[in-house]
Amino acid sequence: MNLLPQVKNLEITGKKVEIKAIKPFEGAIDYRLYKQISALPISQDGLELSLEILDKTTEGYQLKITQDKVMIVADSTAGAFYALQTLKQCFKNENLQTLTITDYPDFSYRGVYHDVTRGKVPTVDTLKNFIDTLAYYKINSLQLYVEHTYEFEQVKDIKEEKGYLTALELQEIDQYCKDNFIEFIPSIATFGHMFEILQTPQFQHLRVLKDYKLGANEWKERMQHHTIDPTNPQSIEVVKSLVDQYYPNFTSEFFNICGDETFDLHGYVDKDGNAVNEKDLYVPFINKIIEHVKSRGKRVMMWADILLKYPETINLVPSDTMFLNWEYAPNPNELKVKTFKEFNRDQIVCPGTWSWNRLIENFDDGESNIKTLIEYGYKYGAKGVLNTNWGDWGNPCSIELALYGLTLGAEKSWSATTENNQDYYDRVNSVVYGSENAVSYIKRVSKLNGIADWVCFCEAYSNVKANNGQKIYTVSKEQLEQVQKEYLELNEQIQGDLALRNDVKNELLIALEGICVIAELSAKLGKIDLERLTDTNSWLDKYKKAWLNKNKPSELCRIVKMFEYVEAL
C-alpha cells in the first residue's frame, strides 16, 4: 500500500475492494470536509461513508475500509481532513483491500517556507495549486519569504520591475489556506536581507554600510550587504511601517520577523570610532521589533542563527518567542537543536530542500539535511518542522523540481522515524511522480547540475561583463562531454517515460537541457572546443514559457539577459 506520509498502523484484512468510490454524501459537516469529499470518486454504487468527529484538539484519525463502507473516526475536524487525504491515496492504489488505518502526526506544526523574493513571484493560481499539494501531504502551515515583493510604500518605485504580490492576493491566499487547514503566516525581512529597500535613494542612509557601492554581481550582492542600521532612530520606524502594512492581510496568530544573517553588523564602528559587538547591536533592536509586533496582537517567530552565536542572549528576548532553528548542512549540528531544549525555549527545526542556486534540487545533500535535522527535532521535543525552499541566485528552480525535498519534509514531519530506503523511494515514485524511475532521474540530473554549476556560471557572466579580470568559470573538457553524454541518455529516457506526471516531466526536461546549455556556454567562456548539442535561444523559449505559465515576469529578464549575453560572445 503506497501512502505518503506513511501511516502509523495499517492492518490489511485481505478482501479486495471492488469499487473505489463513495456514495453521494448528504451529512451536515464542515464545508472544508465537504469539499474534500466532493473531490473523491462518487458513484451511486459506491461505498457508504460515515464520519464521526471527536471533541479533541489533536489530529489523529482511524480510517476503516470494508467492501461496502468507509468509516472515519477523527479526533478533530483537521483529523478528518487528513483522513480524507489518506482515503484519496487509498483509492489510487491498484489493488485496494479492506483495511484499518490508525494514524496521527509526530509534530503538531508541519510547515513549508517558500521564497517569493529572489527573482520569482508566483501567481495566485500557482500558490493555490501549491497549497493543494501541501494539504495532500498533510502540511498545516505555509510562509512566503518577502523582502520587497509586496506593495510596500517603501518600494513603490521598483515594485513593477522586481515583481510583487498585492494585499488582495495575499488575502485570497489566506482564505484558501484556511480552506485547507493550513495556517498562512506572514514573514518579512526586518533587520538583515533588506537590500532592495536600502538601495533606494530614500533609505540608503539607513544602511549599516554607508559608503557601499554595488558590485558586479547583483545576485551575490543582495545576499551579502543588506542590513539596516539599528542605531539610527529612523530604522525602527521603517520596520514598524513595513509590519503595519503587511500583517492585516493575515489571520494567523504568528508573525515571522526573520532577523537572520545580519552580516553587516560584523566589525561595526560607531560615530566615535569605537567597535561595537554584534550582539550588543542585535538584541536591543530585535526586541524593539518584537515589542511592536506583539502590540499588534501577534506572536513572534524569528530565525535563531544570531542568538545561537551568543547563547547567553537567548533569554534576553521575550519568553513567548518561537525560534526557527535553521541548519542546511548535510550533517547538521545536533548541538544547535539541543541548545534550545536546554534553555527550555520553543523551537521549530528548519531544514531545506537544497533547491536554491540550481535548476534542480540537490538530492543527496537535501535528503541528508532534512532527514537528520527533523530527527534531532523529534529527539529534543521541537514544536515542529518548517521545511525551507529558498530561491537564491535568481530562483531558477521550479516547485516541481523541489518536490522530493518538499515531500520528504512532509513525510518526516508526520512520521519522524521514516527511513530513506527503497521502500520509501517506491512510495514516492508511486504517490508523487507516477513513475517507478522518477527518483532515479532526479538523482542523476541533480548530479549533472553539480558539474554545470548555476552559481559559477552566474559569477563568470558577471566577471566577463564587468571586465574585472576575475576568474572565468571553466571545468574540464572531459566533464563537459560527460554532461553532454548524460544529457542525451536521460533526455531519451525521460521523454519515453509515459508514466511520469506531465508537469514534472516538462520541468525535468527543461532543467536537463538547461544544464547542458550551461556546460556548453561554459566551454565557450573557457575557450574549450566543444561541439554544441543544444541551442541557447530555443532553450530560453521553453524556460520562459514554463516560468510565465506559473509566475509573474518579475526578474525573468535578468536570467534571459545573462544567457543571451554569453551566447553572443
pLDDT of residue 420: 92
Average pLDDT value over all residues in the chain? 96
Contact 145, 115 (CB under 8 A): yes
User: Does residue 17 sit in helix, strand or coil?
Assistant: coil
For the domain covering 9-103, report its CATH number.
3.30.379.10
Q: Can you give the C-alpha Rg of the chain in angstroms?
A: 25
Phi, psi for 250 (deg, rounded to 5): -130, 145
Cα–Cα dist 496/488, whole Å: 12
Q: What beta strand segments (E) does 455-501 contain? A: none
pLDDT of residue 223: 86
pLDDT of residue 549: 98
Q: Name residue 258's beta-bridge partners.
A: none
pLDDT of residue 468: 79
Q: How far is CA 470 from the centre of its chain?
A: 33
Residue 471 has pLDDT above 80, yes or no: no
Running DSSP on this structure, what letter comes out for residue 94? T
pLDDT of residue 225: 81
Q: For residue 87, give Cα distances in angstroms to 3, 58, 79, 176, 550.
A: 10, 19, 12, 22, 29
Q: Name residue 384's beta-bridge partners.
A: 109, 348
The C-alpha angle with vertex 384 and arms to 389 and 132, in degrees rounded to 5, equals: 50
Cα–Cα dist 531/195, whole Å: 41
Q: Name residue 141's beta-bridge partners.
A: 111, 183
Buried/exposed code over 102-140 (b: 16+ C-beta within 10 A; e: otherwise)? ebbbbbebbbbbbbbbbbbbbebebbbebbebbbbbbbb
pLDDT of residue 523: 94
pLDDT tens-place string over residues 228-261: 999 999 999 999 999 999 999 999 999 999 999 9
pLDDT of residue 21: 97
Same fold, 9-103 and 109-420: no
Contact 443, 429 (CB under 8 A): no
Q: Supply 379's cell numbers.
A: 529527539
pLDDT of residue 188: 98
Q: What is the pTM of this model?
A: 0.97
Phi, psi for 26 (deg, rounded to 5): -120, 10
Mean pLDDT over 118-145 rounds to 98
Mean pLDDT over 348-375 rounds to 98
| Omega cis (within 30) before 332 | no
Residue 243: Cβ-neighbour burial (10 angstroms; 0-12, 13-18, 19+)? buried
Q: How far is CA 535 from the centre of its chain?
A: 31
Cα–Cα dist 131/125, whole Å: 10
Percent of the chain with pLDDT over 90: 92
pLDDT of residue 26: 87
Cα–Cα dist 137/408, whole Å: 10
Residue 57: Cβ-neighbour burial (10 angstroms; 0-12, 13-18, 19+)? exposed
pLDDT tens-place string over residues 161-202: 999 999 999 999 999 999 999 999 999 999 999 999 999 999
For the chain, helix, strand, coil in percent to 5 are 50, 15, 35
Mean pLDDT over 372-377 rounds to 98
Domains of the chain, residue spans: 9-103, 109-420, 439-568
Phi, psi for 323 (deg, rounded to 5): -90, 130
Query: Quick one: which of 430, 427, 340 has its CA closest to 376?
Result: 340
For the domain covering 109-420, report its CATH number.
3.20.20.80
Contacts of residue 472, Cβ cutoff 8 Å, sequence gap at least 6: 460, 463, 464, 525, 526
The residue with greater pLDDT, 38 or 270, is 38
Mean pLDDT over 438-460 rounds to 96
Cα–Cα dist 220/218, whole Å: 5
